[in-house]
Amino acid sequence: MPRTAIEAGVTLQHIILLAVVQGITEFLPISSSGHLILAPALTGAADQGLLVDVSVHVGTLAAVLIYFWRDVFAMIGGVFVLLSGRINPGARLALHIILATIPVVAIGFYFKVSGIEEQMRSVAVIAWTTLGFGIVLWIADKIGMTINRLEHMRWGGALFIGMAQVLALVPGTSRSGITMTAARFMGYERSDAAQFSMLLSIPVILGAGLLAGIDVQQSGDMALTRDVFLAAGLSFITALIAIAVLMNWLKRSTFTPFAIYRILLGGGLLVWVYVYDQAPISLGFLS
């Protein structure tokens, strides 16, 4: 069923919850799309609608652009250097991001036009991917060496991470989680794995936001309401905090807490799906 810009029955409390969830989970290796699908599924609340989706994407995109502004400006400058027939570190990073983005753009377009994307938006799928890729993240972090930095990346490594990112088209996989996992398997230091993953999110979030924006425009409801600005602002603030916390954490620790969270959440969801038949959980503050 087509979604409207803001679905009827969506409360202010629900929008606040979704904006905060998006901001926190977008860059942590725990799947933002999975959590956004779970929120209405678990609580029985209405789907948030396309306009809220666009606003939270704008907020998280602004957060990553601001936190990594030096890398962003280096890549922009690198593009102009490329036009002059030369290459520098900024240009090389930009090319790696472009190369790693190509697979998910190609496969993602096929998923959207074929309708496969909507068919996978189920709690059962999220449960299995959350659990399974949580275990894979833990394995990669345990066996992966910490010998490579971003400046050591080669074309093959960027493409490998990009191919891994395609798996994130399945809800619950986690785009940041699977790209960090791939980087850890290749021996990248944890903070560098996270940095490349977040820079790689820029074209992905921008593309997803633009596609959702086109759908909103076609729906004929482009009203910029208080709820829209609130969702964008909250997702921006929470995403900026989440990025800072994660980057500082990974300089001195591991991905283990995130893997444990995923395993516990995935296991709990499997029980909820197969034992309790997905009975909605009552959260009074959302009503």
More confident residue, 162 or 281: 162
In a domain, 195, yes or no: yes
The 10s digit of each residue's pLDDT in 205-244 is 998 777 777 766 776 655 556 778 888 999 999 999 999 9
pLDDT for residue 37? 75
Tell whether the model's pLDDT for residue 158 goes beyond 70: yes
In a domain, 49, yes or no: yes
With pLDDT > 90 as the criterion, what percentage of the chain qualifies? 61
Tell whether the model's pLDDT for residue 1 goes beyond 70: no
For residue 123, what are its two tokens? Answer: 């709690």
Of 22-26, 90-94, 107-111, 279-283, which has the strongest mean pLDDT? 90-94
Of 113-122, 251-260, 270-279, which has the strongest mean pLDDT? 251-260
In a domain, 72, yes or no: no
With pLDDT > 70 as the criterion, what percentage of the chain qualifies? 85
More confident residue, 109 or 260: 260
In a domain, 103, yes or no: no
Please state whether 189 falls in left (phi above 0), alpha (psi between -120 and 50) or beta: beta
Structural domain harbouring 133: 12-64+119-146+171-277
Mean of pLDDT over the chain: 87
Give the alpha-carbon dihedral of 159, 114, 175, 278, to 10 degrees.
Answer: -150
Give the HSE-up count for residue 226: Cα atoms under 13 Å, Cβ half-sphere: 3
In a domain, 158, yes or no: no
Residue 148 sits at φ, ψ, to 5 deg, of -110, 145
In a domain, 52, yes or no: yes
In a domain, 16, yes or no: yes
pLDDT for residue 55? 83
Question: Are 190 and 46 a contacting pair, CB within 8 Å?
Answer: no
What string of H, E and C letters represents the secondary structure of the chain? CCCCCCCCCCCHHHHHHHHHHHHHHCCCCCCHHHHHHHHHHHHCCCCCCHHHHHHHHHHHHHHHHHHCHHHHHHHHHHHHHHHCCCCCHHHHHHHHHHHHHHHHHHHHHHHHHHCHHHHCCCHHHHHHHHHHHHHHHHHHHHHCCCCECHHHCCHHHHHHHHHHHHHHHCCCCCHHHHHHHHHHHCCECHHHHHHHHHHHHHHHHHHHHHHHHHHHHHHCCCCCCHHHHHHHHHHHHHHHHHHHHHHHHHCCCCCHHHHHHHHHHHHHHHHHHHCCCCCCCCCHHHC
The count of domains in the chain is 1
More confident residue, 283 or 140: 140
In a domain, 100, yes or no: no
Mean pLDDT of 190-196: 98
More confident residue, 122 or 215: 122
